[in-house]
Amino acid sequence: MEQLKNINGYALMIFSLVYEHKSFSIVARLQHVAPSTISRVISQLEQSLNCQLFHRNTRAVIATEHAEMLIDYARNISQNLTDIFDQIGEQRCEIQGRVRLNAPVLFGQLHIVPWLAELNARFPKLVFELILTDEFIDPFKSSTDIIFGMNHLPDSNFHARVFHQVQYYLLASPQYLKQHATINSPVDLIDHQCLVYQGVYGPNKWYFKTNEQLTATAISATLTSNNAAALTTAAKQGMGLVLFPDWLVYEEIQAGTLIPLLSEYQGTIYTEPQFISVIYPHTKKMPTKVRTVIDFFIEKFGCPAYWQCD
């Protein structure tokens, strides 16, 4: 059929990327081509389909109703082609291709980036695209291959491998503990200097378990910040107390620069247990490159995870 001549795997991949990023220039940078190349591919695809896929102006690229109809088919075809190439590469005894990873910003900086050089040395044919963001990434709507999630257990519709249940620690520096009154229970925190992380929904609440029930505890915030590393530094310098996850402060606990407090009260900032897991899309056969990267991080994180403090 004449209208199918410009509908190929590459065109559908470019369409999917433009749909996701809502920008020709971003996709051009990702593909190492000129924006005009991306525009031409989309225009040819629109011509073949005899419909407009995107409204374009100088400020935005907006998907049309036809694009919404096409996107799931395009993603499935692109994924099937990727799977085929992976299987062919596997038969050649080579693990190769692009692996797209997503992780929360600070977790990625501390526990993903430090391992990438070794991963690259072990599998030099792999190419990586790492996106660090604290925004929610939907595996069904993203082109990401692997998502490192940090939340309650993922929806059963997702494939997921749980690495670790997050433990939170109330911490203070030795200097702070020498200069301030003893903390015997969560009710004492109102009289202490607390350093509180503030996300998009406002300052974190601090919960502690009393009589097997989590209760929000009143605290006095000396400092709030949207940067956990800054709060950790302030705590080490004796400015106040923090309530942070083990993966963030395990080195400070091991070094003795921050001292755990009230461990019997099991402090947390969530009312539900939190888990670190890797989430990946449903496919009939997991691509070899994806399985290889997941297995690598399973090996490196360990069981129990190397940041576990107990």
SS3 of the chain: CHHHCCCCHHHHHHHHHHHHHCCHHHHHHHHCCCHHHHHHHHHHHHHHHCCCCEEECCCCEEECHHHHHHHHHHHHHHHHHHHHHHHHHHHCCCCCEEEEEEECHHHHHHHCHHHHHHHHHHCCCEEEEEEECCCCCCCCCCCCCEEEEEECCCCCCCEEEEEEECCEEEEECHHHHHHCCCCCCHHHHHHCCEEEEEECCEECCCEEEECCEEEECCCCEEEEECCHHHHHHHHHCCCCEEEEEHHHHHHHHHHCCCEEECHHHCCECCCCCCEEEEEECCCCCCCHHHHHHHHHHHHHHCCCCCCCCC
Tokens of 282: 């449903």
Least confident of 22-31, 139-148, 241-250: 139-148
What percent of the chain has pLDDT above 70?
Answer: 90
Q: Which domains does the chain possess?
A: 2-79 (1.10.10.10), 94-165+274-301 (3.40.190.10), 168-265 (3.40.190.290)
Judged against a pLDDT cut of 80, whether residue 267 lies above it is answered with yes
Residue 107 pLDDT grade (very low, low, confident, very high; cuts 50, 70, 90)? very high
Judged against a pLDDT cut of 80, whether residue 102 lies above it is answered with yes
Would you state the pLDDT for residue 136? Answer: 74
Least confident of 62-71, 157-166, 237-246, 272-281: 157-166
The string of pLDDT tens digits covering residues 200-228 is 778 899 999 988 889 999 999 999 999 99
Mean pLDDT computed over 150-171: 79
Judged against a pLDDT cut of 60, whether residue 90 lies above it is answered with no
Cα–Cα dist 259/279, whole Å: 33
Judged against a pLDDT cut of 70, whether residue 91 lies above it is answered with no
Mean pLDDT computed over 71-84: 81
Give Rg (Cα) of the chain: 24
Would you state the pLDDT for residue 60? Answer: 80
Cα–Cα dist 38/31, whole Å: 9
The set of residues, in sequence order, having a beta carbon less than 8 Å from that of 25 and lying 6+ positions away, is: 35
What percent of the chain has pLDDT above 90?
Answer: 60
Would you state the pLDDT for residue 283? Answer: 63
The string of pLDDT tens digits covering residues 52-63 is 999 988 778 899
Mean pLDDT computed over 193-202: 90
Distances in Å between the alpha carbon of 121 and those of 29, 69, 124, 177, 257?
Answer: 25, 41, 5, 45, 34
Would you state the pLDDT for residue 265? Answer: 93
Contact yes or no for 240/222 (Cβ under 8 A): yes
Tokens of 193: 């200097």
Cα–Cα dist 203/195, whole Å: 10
Would you state the pLDDT for residue 56? Answer: 87
Would you state the pLDDT for residue 175? Answer: 97
Cα–Cα dist 124/65, whole Å: 41
Please report how the helices 65-91 and 9-21 are oriented relative to each other, as an axis angle in degrees rounded to 10: 120
Would you state the pLDDT for residue 219? Answer: 94
Mean pLDDT computed over 284-295: 85
Give the predicted TM-score (pTM) of the model.
0.69
Residue 78 pLDDT grade (very low, low, confident, very high; cuts 50, 70, 90)? confident
Judged against a pLDDT cut of 70, whether residue 157 lies above it is answered with no
Q: How far out from the chain centre does Cα 106 lie?
A: 9
